[in-house]
Amino acid sequence: IPGAKRQGCCVRCWSQTIIMSIKVKVSPRIVSNIAKIYQNTSRVFMEYIDNSLDSGEKLFENNNRKYPYKVQISITIDPEAKTVTFEDNCVGMDKDNLLRIVQNIGDSNKKNDFTTNGQFGFGIHAYAACANRMEVLTLTLASRVAYKIKVDRNAYTEEGEIADLIEFPREKVSIKSGTIVKLFDFDNDWWREITPQELKNEIEKHFEQLLARDQLQIKIAYGKEEEICQPFNYDSFLGTKIEKEVTELERRGTKSILQSPVKIYLKITEDIVSNKRPIFVNKGRRIEEIQAIKSFRAKSKYRTGLWAHNNLTGYIEVAGLLNPTLPRDDFERSTNRQMVYEEILKMEDEIYEALQAINKRSESANMNKLEDLLSSALSKLARQDYLRFRTSISQGTDVNFEELEGSDLLLKTKKEGGGGGGKKTEEHQTEDIPVVETQDETKLKGKEGKKSGFNVEFSDREQRKADGTLIRSDYIEGGAIIIYKSHPDFQERLKKTNQGEMKITERLVSYLASEIAIQYKDKFFAVRGKQPEVQAIMNQRKDLFVDIVSFSYQFESILQPFVGKNLLTLESVGDVE
């Protein structure tokens, strides 16, 4: 090959000859493609708020970890113009740093700054996921002029991105120093999902550690409405704290002192904390829930059984020791990651044991919910049986009134024997169906109310027949059907979530319906055995079995809407529909 440098003398060597050095060119269109990692506007907006917080961090660190004045970050959503503006009163950028936004994509000058969160210099271009245009205006205290740059995601050439840089006097700017980012021309699908409440929730979740600082405020304006973002208050929940600071890491006998400690703050709460599972935090910014980080979950002994538990909340601040991936939903593979994970894993047994104690305390209350549900369902079917076995339907009675002098109408006392205009029911109409009497705590007590059916209760005890066979269920005089939880058939059908919460399943519903049907029908026929219709059924064994199975099917059908629900989240039930 003319002009080539031979690296050897054989044909194989000729195939490895260096012909020339070439320059690898990256198309600027890659910006739009990378922006597709963002799946919602709230996550896009976090990038611009994060940049403002990074700017404020310089003030914080240079002033003994305090803000020298009230740092304000404002997000203004204009529903008429369909624009979103992010404004801060922090340090701003000079001309060179502003130009880096478009000239040095992926090469952030913050990546070696321990105090800030930026790594790639790409976050400013997140707008390309949802909008066509962006304007960035910035001003420093020392500058006499302000600079604005206009960027359009559609304005690309083979040489790169076309952007306009504008310069004008600082007197024309509303801020003394800081940065204003404005996004225009949103895609319709993305614009429709912008809501101030969702954005507020995301900010409070994403920056909860920073929001707790004095002299920092993040606010959202939507039309004439304004919302101030608030930090999460862990102290508002009763529970046990587990705290640890890791100041050094050790691997294979080598120790390294950390520039900033890894802080572990976890809390096992008495009550459920909704949507607040423990999170990884980096420099005050939420990375992701611990249970959702794949690299950590793969090493965890208990996985979601611990880290997704409803009674566990808190955070682990990795303080810049670990680098988030580009979408910030995991950490880059590194030795530091392995060592930090090992420190956390050492605490898992202690946390898991404490959570198991919480599970045992709450299990009784959760089973009470199921008892109420079953009792209510049984009451409904018992009322149907009551009507089925009646020999006649009693008619309603008219109410008689007498007119007294100087008085309005007075209710006339009903005579013995069912007077008042109604027809007397047959003597064998007396109802002896097993009932549970209701309580009346008032002093004005009339006729005692009754309800059909039995209470259903669960027991941890083990009951056996004379031959030693375990009993699945039983009837206790006084109106209670007992389901024995220790029986293997019950345990086999008992499913729990990874967090130890009992779940209502199809098999459990069938099991409960069958056991309750047997106990209920047995007692029902025993009490009502003298009725002709019942006696007829009892004289035909097949019809008796069919009746019990039919009752079981009815009971199972009533419980179907509850299949798949956790007892923990099951609302209190009254009379089943």
- Lowest mean per-residue pLDDT among 166-170, 251-255, 318-322, 392-396: 392-396
Nearest to 248 by CA among 264, 259, 235: 259
* pLDDT surpasses 90 at 53: yes
DSSP-derived 3-state class of residue 287: strand
- Residue 51 has what pLDDT? 93
The percent of residues in the chain predicted with pLDDT above 70, rounded, is: 72
Contact 124, 105 (CB under 8 A): no
Residue written as token pair 């572990």: 264
- Lowest mean per-residue pLDDT among 117-126, 167-176, 403-412, 553-562: 403-412
The percent of residues in the chain predicted with pLDDT above 90, rounded, is: 38
DSSP-assigned beta bridge partners for residue 464: 470
- Residue 267 has what pLDDT? 96
Residue written as token pair 């923990």: 568
* pLDDT surpasses 80 at 421: no
Nearest to 177 by CA among 235, 90, 118, 240: 90
- Lowest mean per-residue pLDDT among 257-266, 293-302, 488-497, 522-531: 522-531
* pLDDT surpasses 50 at 391: no
DSSP-derived 3-state class of residue 363: helix
- Lowest mean per-residue pLDDT among 117-126, 182-191, 349-358: 117-126
- Confidence tier at 121 by pLDDT (50, 70, 90): low
As a whole number, mean pLDDT of residues 403-424 equals 42
- Confidence tier at 141 by pLDDT (50, 70, 90): very high
- Lowest mean per-residue pLDDT among 198-202, 378-382, 500-504, 556-560: 500-504
pLDDT of 297-315, one tens digit each? Answer: 999 999 988 999 989 999 9
* pLDDT surpasses 70 at 450: no
pLDDT of 170-216, one tens digit each? Answer: 898 888 999 999 999 999 999 999 999 999 999 999 999 999 999 99
* pLDDT surpasses 60 at 222: yes
* pLDDT surpasses 70 at 43: yes
- Residue 73 has what pLDDT? 97
Residue 35 backbone zone (phi > 0: left; psi -120 to 50: alpha; other: beta): alpha
Q: What is the mean pLDDT of the chain?
A: 78
- Residue 300 has what pLDDT? 95
DSSP-derived 3-state class of residue 405: coil
Question: 90 vs 493, which has greater pLDDT?
Answer: 90
Question: 358 vs 278, which has greater pLDDT?
Answer: 278
Q: How far apart are the two ends of the chain, measured CA to CA in Å? A: 88
Helix (H) or strand (E) holding 122: none
- Lowest mean per-residue pLDDT among 77-81, 107-111, 356-360: 107-111
Question: 446 vs 505, which has greater pLDDT?
Answer: 505
* pLDDT surpasses 50 at 158: yes
